Amino acid sequence: MADLSQEEWTKQLKADDNAVVLDVRTQDEIDLGMIPNAIHIDIFKGQGFIHEVEQLDKTKNYYVYCKSGNRSGQACAIMNQLDIENAYNLLGGFSEWQGEVAHNQ
């Protein structure tokens, strides 16, 4: 797991052709907007979160975020335990995100 600043996370993500963006926030938080093309798995699902993460392609690089960076840090640690080697935590989370935001229609 690596904690990356907003700038590092964005720069690395843009250069990574094997990247998946993962949003671990709640549905209510998602409704306020999300980083474009992110997949959503709510970390508060508990065992459900673990089950869904186990289904992910372990060869991908995961760029993980939540609202502030705390839950996504926990998610990255769980992902590492589940043999996903490359999980990158967005420090400051969505609340400090300066990039593009997608809204559900």
Q: Is 76 a residue of the active site?
A: no
The full DSSP string for 46-83 is THHHHHHHHTS-TTSEEEEE-SSSHHHHHHHHHHHHTT
**Residues 66, 75, 90, 91: which is the catalytic one?**
66
Maximal C-alpha separation, the chain: 35
Q: Which residues contact 7 (CB under 8 A, 6 or more apart)?
A: none
Q: Which residues contact 11 (CB under 8 A, 6 or more apart)?
A: none
* Catalytic residue ranges: 66
